């Protein structure tokens, strides 16, 4: 289904189509494969794919792969997986900026021939000095007036591998006094003797992001090149290349505000640090704000897309309350997740008026409203309920609880009445005896003595054991990114607890990545990688209510 978004980018596109400035929309999502995508990228994906879908256009997936040292195939595969999981399909094959290295090289030669690019021998430190500051203009490089012939020769030798990394760069000749630092003779090519995941050892010079991005857009016929605000200052340079090169089309860049989320970090560099320092188990650890981490945590694609719709798109960077993400998640799971039962703190109940070995299969729907099928639940003489659901004495405070002489309904099952209990040496109740009230499956007791409440349960003899991974927030600070200290100081080192729970047998058999509401406990998902019928593993996605946050 196409979600119709009303944001300023959609408005621009609508106007361009109406005025005939473009005949159809082509957008692109251009990640650099130097890490896994995070929730901020989800916003960009939803926007780029979303507007293309909305206006009957197409969106490309293009890897912006101009820094071979930091990139690899694992990241490429993970990014493709994430985009597809979110429910989007790119147009045609996946593209790589490196597909255009030959063309970009030819355009670099073209600029040299036009007297608009030169080889510069300043060291990085010297170049920084010559560049000037925001308040002071820069100085021309002493190499700026090299002849076209000398530049062509030096650039050819850069390409042939004659010089060391950092010895020379190719720069555009624009304006060292420009108030926009990006126009002070920006670098087009640098020497990197690195193997590239797509082009192998073909190149030892690589184009910069700025020299690559707009021209790749032009080659692909991108009409609206949508990026985040930090590229606003690069737009004059983006346009300079388009104006000064014989490109086949004229793309335009538009900027929107990045997504920042509180209680987390959205920077690939910092997320990589968490992985490298083994604070988390990997990029797709369920605590990570990566798309694959959220997936493993139990987010659904719909919940992420709904969140992106909710936060909208604006012209300024904003801080979004993580409660909005939690709301989108809980709302989707509440509406759509099947319900099932797991007992986390077991207390044994023995129903004394049932024979030993009694097993009755009860059929229960997975959802109160939606048709999500049903499962069989074994009902037996020995059950587990939650320890908190039994009290030795009745009190107003515990009026919905099971107490001696009182009745409780077992969810999807019978009404039982407590007849007694046993305690251990420490005074903890360890066993409750009860009697089944006949004829109470789906109806009230005939004697009209109503149960006090409804509790979840599993058969003590037919249930399965499951590993539950209980996650908390990874950061203890609301803005771990924006504090003076090191963001690592705010890592919650105690953000994972593992417990064993008893689950209905049907839950052991579900497919990995199945979402559930464990009734009265929270939303859980069968772990994408570790869940198996012989060893069920469920991750806590989120608590049932707002006071139980991520
Ligand atoms: P990071 O700063 O985390 O390294 P990046 O911007 O360098 O991210 P890219 O792979 O270049 O990562 O991003 C691909 C696209 O996603 C870009 O168009 C970028 O603007 C967009 N994007 C990245 N982070 C966010 C964010 N927090 N909110 C919205 N869009 C984002
Ligand atoms: Mg980038
Ligand atoms: Mg980056």
Residue among 205, 131, 207 at smallest CA distance from 174:
131
> How many Å from the N-terminal Cα to the C-terminal Cα in the chain?
28
- In angstroms, rounded to a whole number, what is the distance separating the alpha carbons of residues 194 and 70? 10
Any residues with CB less than 8 A from the CB of 101 and at least 6 apart, and which? 199, 202, 203, 206, 207
- In angstroms, rounded to a whole number, what is the distance separating the alpha carbons of residues 144 and 115? 10
- Report whether 68 contacts 206 (CB < 8 A): yes
Partners of 187 in beta bridges: 171
Q: 278: burial class by Cβ within 10 Å (0-12, 13-18, 19+)?
A: exposed
- In angstroms, rounded to a whole number, what is the distance separating the alpha carbons of residues 78 and 283? 10
In DSSP notation, 10-29 reads HHHHHHHHHTTS-SS-EEEE
Name the strand (E) or helix (H) holding 377. Answer: strand 374-380
**Ligand 1 in reach of 267 Cβ (< 6 A):** yes
- Report whether 324 contacts 307 (CB < 8 A): yes
Partners of 120 in beta bridges: 169
- Say which ligand is closest to the CA of 31: 1
Best residue for ligand 1 mutational test, from 38, 39, 40, 235 (most atoms within 8 Å of Cβ): 40
**Distance from residue 259's CA to the centre of ligand 1 (Å):** 9
**Ligand 1 in reach of 254 Cβ (< 6 A):** no
- In angstroms, rounded to a whole number, what is the distance separating the alpha carbons of residues 251 and 192? 29
**Distance from residue 52's CA to the centre of ligand 2 (Å):** 21
**Ligand 1 in reach of 464 Cβ (< 6 A):** no
- In angstroms, rounded to a whole number, what is the distance separating the alpha carbons of residues 64 and 83? 15
- Report whether 296 contacts 286 (CB < 8 A): yes
Partners of 434 in beta bridges: 351, 418
In b/e form, how buried is each residue of 46-66, taking b as 16+ CB within 10 angstroms?
bbbbbbbbbbebbbbbbbbbb
**Ligand 1 in reach of 28 Cβ (< 6 A):** no
Q: Is 268 a catalytic residue?
A: yes
Q: Would you call 317 helix, strand, or coil by DSSP?
A: coil
Cα–chain center distance at 365 = 31
**Dihedral in degrees, nearest 10, Cα atoms 191, 197, 198, 200:** 60
Q: Is 407 a catalytic residue?
A: no
pTM: 0.95
Question: What is the per-residue pLDDT for 395?
Answer: 82
Question: What is the per-residue pLDDT for 2?
Answer: 46
**Ligand 1 in reach of 271 Cβ (< 6 A):** no
pLDDT tens across 203-248, in order? 999 999 999 999 999 999 999 999 999 999 999 999 999 999 999 9
Rg (CA), the chain: 31
- In angstroms, rounded to a whole number, what is the distance separating the alpha carbons of residues 328 and 308? 9
Task: Delineate the domains of the chain, giving CATH numbers in brackets.
Answer: 101-210 (3.90.800.10), 257-338+463-550 (1.10.1160.10), 342-455 (2.40.240.10)
Residue nearest to atom 14 of ligand 1 (CA): 31
Q: Is 32 a catalytic residue?
A: yes
Any residues with CB less than 8 A from the CB of 357 and at least 6 apart, and which? 381
Q: Which regions in the chain score pLDDT beneath 50? A: 1-2, 549-550
In b/e form, how buried is each residue of 139-162, taking b as 16+ CB within 10 angstroms?
eebebeebeeeebeebbeebbeee
| Ligand 1 atom with least separation from CA of 30 | 14
Question: What is the per-residue pLDDT for 4?
Answer: 55
Best residue for ligand 1 mutational test, from 78, 228, 259, 265 (most atoms within 8 Å of Cβ): 228
- Say which ligand is closest to the CA of 264: 1
**Dihedral in degrees, nearest 10, Cα atoms 114, 116, 122, 123:** -110
**Distance from residue 231's CA to the centre of ligand 1 (Å):** 11
**Ligand 1 in reach of 227 Cβ (< 6 A):** yes
């Amino acid at each position: 289904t196409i979600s119709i978004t009303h944001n300023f980018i959609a408005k621009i596109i609508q106007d361009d189509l109406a005025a005939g400035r473009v005949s159809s929309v082509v957008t692109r999502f251009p990640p650099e494969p130097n890490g896994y995508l995070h929730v901020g990228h989800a916003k960009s994906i939803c926007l780029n794919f979303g507007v293309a879908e909305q206006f009957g256009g197409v969106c490309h997936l293009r890897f912006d792969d101009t820094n071979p040292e930091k990139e690899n195939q694992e990241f490429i595969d993970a990014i493709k997986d994430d985009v597809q999981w979110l429910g989007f399909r790119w147009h045609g094959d996946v593209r790589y900026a490196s597909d255009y290295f030959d063309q970009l090289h030819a355009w670099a030669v073209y600029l040299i021939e036009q007297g608009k690019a030169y080889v510069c021998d300043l060291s990085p430190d010297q170049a920084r000095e010559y560049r000037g500051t925001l308040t002071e203009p820069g100085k021309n490089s002493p190499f700026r007036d090299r002849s076209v012939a000398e530049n062509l020769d030096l650039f050819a030798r850069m390409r042939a591998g004659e010089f060391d990394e950092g010895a020379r760069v190719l720069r555009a000749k624009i304006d060292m006094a420009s108030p926009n630092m990006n126009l002070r003779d920006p670098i087009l090519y640098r020497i990197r003797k690195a193997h590239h995941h797509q082009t192998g050892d073909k190149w030892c010079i690589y184009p910069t992001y700025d020299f690559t991005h707009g021209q790749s857009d032009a080659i692909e016929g991108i009409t609206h090149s949508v990026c985040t605000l930090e590229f606003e200052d690069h737009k004059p340079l983006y346009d300079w290349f388009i104006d000064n090169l014989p490109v086949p089309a004229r793309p335009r860049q538009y900027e929107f505000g990045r997504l920042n989320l509180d209680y987390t970090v959205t920077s690939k560099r910092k997320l990589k640090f968490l992985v490298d320092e083994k604070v988390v188990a990997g990029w797709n650890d369920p605590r990570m704000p990566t798309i694959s981490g959220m997936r493993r945590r139990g987010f659904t694609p719909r919940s992420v897309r709904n969140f992106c719709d909710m936060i909208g798109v604006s012209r300024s960077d904003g801080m979004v309350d993580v409660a909005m993400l939690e709301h989108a998640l809980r709302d989707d799971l509440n509406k759509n997740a099947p319900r099932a039962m797991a007992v986390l703190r077991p207390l044994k109940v023995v129903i004394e008026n049932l024979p030993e070995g009694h097993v009755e299969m009860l059929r229960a729907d997975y959802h109160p409203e939606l048709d999500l099928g049903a499962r069989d639940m074994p009902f037996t003489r020995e059950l587990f309920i939650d320890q908190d659901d039994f009290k030795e004495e009745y009190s107003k405070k515990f009026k919905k609880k099971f107490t001696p002489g009182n009745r409780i309904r077992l969810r999807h099952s019978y009404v039982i009445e407590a007849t007694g209990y046993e305690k251990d040496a420490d005074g903890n109740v360890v066993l409750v005896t009860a009697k089944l009230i006949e004829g109470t499956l789906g109806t009230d007791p005939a004697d009209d003595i109503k149960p006090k409440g409804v509790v979840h349960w599993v058969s003590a003899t037919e249930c399965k054991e499951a590993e539950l991974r209980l996650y908390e927030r990874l950061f203890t600070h609301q803005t771990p990114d924006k504090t003076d200290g090191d963001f690592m100081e705010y890592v919650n080192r105690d953000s994972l607890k593992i417990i064993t729970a008893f689950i209905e047998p049907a839950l052991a058999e579900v497919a990995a990545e199945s979402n559930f509401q464990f009734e009265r406990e929270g939303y859980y998902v069968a772990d994408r990688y570790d869940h198996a019928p012989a060893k069920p593993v469920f991750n806590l996605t989120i608590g049932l209510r707002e006071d139980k946050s991520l």
